[in-house]
Amino acid sequence: MRNYLLAITLAATPALAQEPRLGTIDFPATGAPAAQPAFRRGVLYLHSFEYASAIRAFREAEAADPGFVMAYWGEALAYTHPVWDQQDLDSGRSVLARLGPTREARLARAATARERAYLAAVEELYGSGSKQRRDTLFSRAMLRMVDDYPGDLEAKAFASLGLLGLNQGVRDYGAYMRAAVLAQQVYRANPDHPGGAHFIIHAFDDPIHAPLGLEAARAYSRIAPDAAHAQHMTTHIFLALGMWDDVVSQNTIAVNLTLWAPGHYTEWLHYGELQQGRYGAATTLMVRVRGAATTSGRRAALALMRAQHVIATEDWSGSLWTWPIALDDQPLAAAQDAFARGLAAARRGDRNEAGAQRSVLATLVDVVRGRGDSLGARKAAVMEQELRGVLRHLEGGADDALALLREAAGQEDGLPVDFGPPEIVKPAHELLGEVLLQLGRSGEAQREFTRALAMAPGRSRALVGLVRAAAAAGDRPAAEEALRQFEGNWHAADPDLAELRTLRALVAAR
């Protein structure tokens, strides 16, 4: 998960006078009646990953009842974010230390065996050993709770979350499907449970499984309307299914609940607008948030939005390139920026600039790897390989170019499935399809665009390529179907864009 996601989510606290609408849970815990509403609110915020708000709520419960053991449990748990592979170990341990000086002393304060089991699981999370080991022990402890307390929906919810975090931010289908089973049990038992709906979405937010998460996505925005992350999270399913109107509407709500600044929610909103062909709105959004790019993470988000913008609009010489964005401490974002600059230069026919950006990108691959981001380094390496292929094509070496681009596509296929706007900002199969189409190899191009759309359903630039390739290959049914999907994407596109009219004429002429 991108680094700036946490910063945006931590700001997601609705400014409401009344109790926020976050869903419904039944979580009995031993504590003073005056502390119970804040405790329940904290757990509800936990389920929607509104961690800063959860911490405030649990502290409110502790203030109302300093001996409320489960309030300390909740506050400690809020410093671990399993799906994002983030943990503030010192803060989590500090919370536990306020409850008691040792593990034994803390467990002795639990009023029931069930509460002792909850606390013991968090003790594992902040115990000794590597984070991977502690994540595993926490997950095992929560699964034991499911066995011991089969009617406890909170145990099932947090066991589901523990499974989602087992592989430290890398999707593991086996663990995700086990998590989905538990989350579905929670959701079926309580359709207003935010964790049940939320964790179903996380388990299924890839193009293969996304249809299984659509019901939960539709429900989650209703369950927790005052949680910004809940409004955004629905779009993990919508984006995976190419439902761009929903991607835009839900992320607009999420941004309105937080802050109009470059970040996770604005990035998804912007990407959705690009897929709709609403380039004017996407440009307006970038201009609106540009002034708030005041932190390292926000600058990285703005740079990625710019790269996505240039590639979607194919405005290779646009004024966005004049914006200075400092990315010295964000090497993956710098790599994405260098790739987009290099591709734009190649499309303008500027071989020198394209080559210079490829050299920058090659260096950044090593920098990203040196930061310990092995997955980010692999993504940067794919982009560097793509740029090599584009350069060879520009130089007239068609066979070499195709070999390089096929290798890039193979490397991309070996990566974990991306969710959200692609971090490889020009998917390799899409780029390979475009080069094949330029070379007159329409049948091969059609296969590449089809593959690109299997990985990123409904992506407009890939649909454009598929219409052109299928039409050129004489496959009118495929061209018509791709055109139909593209028309759906662009039903509210900027009226001055000619691409849809051009594609309609192309298909009609076949």
Tokens for 432? 């390979």
Give the C-alpha separation, 433 to 10, whole Å: 40
3 state DSSP class of 318? coil
- Which of 374, 297, 296, 361 is CA-nearest to residue 334? 361
Residue 494 DSSP label: -
What amino acid is encoded at 145 in this protein? M
Q: Which residues of the chain have pLDDT under 70?
A: 1-17, 169-170
Rg of the chain in Å (alpha carbons): 24
CA–CA distance, 429 with 164 (Å, rounded to integer): 29
Tokens of 448: 């590449």
Considering the entire predicted model, what is its pTM?
0.92
- Distance CA(177)–CA(183), nearest Å, equals 10
Contacts of 117 (CB under 8 A, 6+ apart): 141, 144, 145, 148, 149
Torsion angle of the four alpha carbons 7, 10, 12, 13, in this order, in degrees rounded to the nearest 10 = -150
**Cα–Cα distance between 261 and 259 in angstroms, integer?**
6
Q: Check if the beta carbon of residue 158 is closer than 8 Å to that of residue 165.
A: no
Q: Contact at 8 Å (CB) between 302 and 274?
A: no
Give the pLDDT score at 3: 38
Q: What is the pLDDT of residue 12?
A: 37
Q: How many residues does the chain have?
A: 510
Q: CA of 97: how far to CAs of 32, 39, 123, 362, in Å?
A: 21, 19, 11, 47
| Cβ neighbours of 130 (radius 10 Å) | 9
Contacts of 396 (CB under 8 A, 6+ apart): none
What amino acid is encoded at 424 in this protein? I
Rounded to 10 deg, the angle between the 428-438 and 460-472 helix axes is 30
Encoding tokens for residue 121? 């699981």
**How far apart are alpha carbons 50 and 44 in whole angstroms?**
9
Strands (E), 293-427: none
Q: Which tokens go with 276?
A: 């709709």
In the prediction, which pLDDT does 20 show?
95
- Residue whose C-alpha is closest to residue 224's, from 85, 54, 83: 54
Alpha-carbon span 194 to 42, nearest angstrom: 12
Residue 404, φ and ψ in degrees, nearest 5: -65, -40
Cα torsion 277, 281, 283, 289: sign = negative
